[in-house]
Amino acid sequence: MNIEVKSFARFREHFGDSVVLDLPERETVSGALERLLEVRDSDTGILFSSPGMLHNYIIVMINRERIETGDVGSRILDDGDVVVIYPPVSGG
């Protein structure tokens, strides 16, 4: 199955604007993000604090629906899903 991962702010520097990933059926968000790191040859610490544990400040959306960082290991993706990742945002 194919999913698209879109990156914003500083994540664009590491992953580019958009990447289409070919993943096995029933892959989780966590698995997709791990694959993204492999494809872009990026350090795991950019997204994960420990294996499978996404940094709690990262914002993840699937098809415009925000999901909790604790759910990335259990949330199953479907073919055609769009995953968006945002780093923390600050400013005024």
Tell me the domain boundaries of the chain: 2-86
Q: What is the pLDDT of residues 14-67, one digit of tens each?
A: 999 999 999 999 999 999 999 999 999 999 999 999 888 999 999 999 999 999
pLDDT of residue 90: 65
Sorting pLDDT into bands at 50, 70 and 90, what band is 89? confident
CATH level 2 (architecture), domain 2-86: Roll (3.10)
Helix (H) or strand (E) holding 12: helix 11-15
User: Encoding tokens for residue 70?
Assistant: 């604790």
φ, ψ of residue 78 to 5 degrees: the values are: -115, 155
Q: Alpha carbon of 30 to those of 23, 90, 91, 92: distances in Å? A: 12, 25, 28, 31
Query: By C-alpha distance, which of 9, 11, 5 is closest to 35?
Result: 5
Put simply, whether the predicted model's pTM sits higher than 0.85 gets the answer yes
